[in-house]
Amino acid sequence: MRAELDGLICSGARRRKQFTYALLEERAARPAMLERDAALFELARRYFTTRGPATVDDFAWWSGLTKADAKRGVEAAAAHLEHESIDGRSYWFPAGERRVRISGLLVHLLPNFDEYFIGLKDRSALAERLKSSGVKPRTTLLVGYFLAVNGQMVGDGGGRLSGERLSSSRSLWFD
């Protein structure tokens, strides 16, 4: 275990029921060393590409960067991103994002700590959408799981294990 913590070895391929180990340098490429500004650019570009639309505050919260460093990263990545101001907040997202056409519904059942939800510091857009639709959620936002349809959270639920039976409950927020 100490050799793993020191970065000398890592888990290798299993051989039937046996665990194996391998030298880390043989299984993983050495990471490229980046200067601070290049690292801020790359982290911001990757964050907003995979989690946008999001705000600078969301990025700072998620990354642990100071707000000043988060802003520097966004400024450096701005050529690769687009932004839109909604209610005085700037939301950043990937430039030229391609819309995927889906025939039918795309449904995801997400755990309550999924990045789709918890990767944002400010989750008020969800509450605003519910409020503007006249929905009063019957839940706090950290329940067992969320139901997302075509990228929009539309419900929640939870489950209970009793003996060998699993029961679940769902609540849709919209009619």
DSSP string, 36-70: HHHHHHHHHHHHHHHH-SB-HHHHHHHH---HHHH
Residue 121: per-residue pLDDT = 77
Residue 125 in contact with residue 88, Cβ under 8 Å?
no
pLDDT tier at 78 (50, 70, 90 boundaries)? very high
**Per-residue pLDDT at 110:** 81
| Beta strands 89-94 and 107-111, pairing class | unpaired
Q: 77: pLDDT confidence band, cut at 50, 70 and 90?
A: very high
